[in-house]
Amino acid sequence: MTDGLTLWGRASSNNVQKLLWALAELGLRYEHILVGGVHGGLDDPAYRAINPNGLVPALRDGGLVLWESHAILRYLAARYGQQSLWRVDPVQRAVVDQWTDWTATTFQPAWISLFWHKVRTPTGQQDARAIADSHARTIAALRILDATLIDRDYLAGDRLSYADIAAGVALYRWFTMPIDRPAMPGVENWYRRLQLRPGFRQAVMVSYAELVGRLAY
């Protein structure tokens, strides 16, 4: 049974994980179609009609078909999370969007680059300089998060918003990648808090073994 929602995308994709986590937070039922990565299917004309980029995730809700993980996150929050992930007040929502957009433009490119160079690239092909550079960029972004989270529970205040989902999917990989991690008490407390949420544990704290040493997708 579903509520008319369909999500496309492999569960090992961090962009898909944002939506698996959000759907769990919102208590929504949905059909999950595994495409991308080992599942393939992204070049099928039927999938290209859903997402012309040939990437995951994509979501259908009735007559609406959407791609881009943050656009989907915002839609789900606005449509189904008015009392939870969404913020009605324009000032509060501006803060949520600031962190969500910063994640898209600054934080995620840094940590994904590190994950790519350190985890996805086979050991024998790794570039120490690229690892060091992306590690430094990830730490610089995390320090910005850390300074904010030192005196608040979530990015936009005292309760979860879609910004925590956009940025927070990075944490499991950050805290499990074989790299040095300087102490960051604000980020560490945020990670502890997120781990108390079943949706985070189910969607984000999952093995990424299929991605290790694999550059194919």
Q: Does residue 36 touch ligand GSH according to CB under 6 A? A: yes
Contact assessment for residue 164 and residue 153, using Cβ atoms and an 8 Å cutoff:
no
Residue written as token pair 């994980």: 17
**CB closer to ligand GSH, 73 vs 184:** 73
Q: Tell the smallest beta-carbon distance from residue 74 to ligand GSH (Å).
A: 12
Residue with structure tokens 């859903």? 50
Interaction of residue 10 with ligand GSH, rule CB under 6 A: yes
Residue 42's contacts (CB-CB under 8 Å, 6 or more residues apart) are 35, 36, 48, 51, 54, 55, 56
Structure tokens at 46: 């039927």
Q: Is 15 in the site for ligand GSH (CB under 6 A)?
A: yes
Rounded CA gap, 190 and 193, in Å? 5
The yes or no reply on residue 208 touching ligand GSH (CB under 6 A) is no
Shortest CA distance to 115 belongs to which of 30, 29, 195, 179? 179
217 makes contact with ligand GSH (CB under 6 A): yes
Among 5, 42, 149, 204, which residue interacts with ligand GSH (rule: CB under 6 A)? 42
By rule CB under 6 A, what count of residues binds ligand GSH?
13
Under rule CB under 6 A, which residues in 54-73 are in contact with ligand GSH? 55-57, 68-69
Toward ligand GSH, which CB reaches closer, 66 or 143? 66
Q: Is 13 in the site for ligand GSH (CB under 6 A)?
A: yes
Query: If we measure between CA atoms, which residue out of 78, 80, 97 comes closest to residue 88?
Result: 78
Binding residues for ligand GSH, rule: CB under 6 A, are 10, 13-15, 36-37, 42, 55-57, 68-69, 217
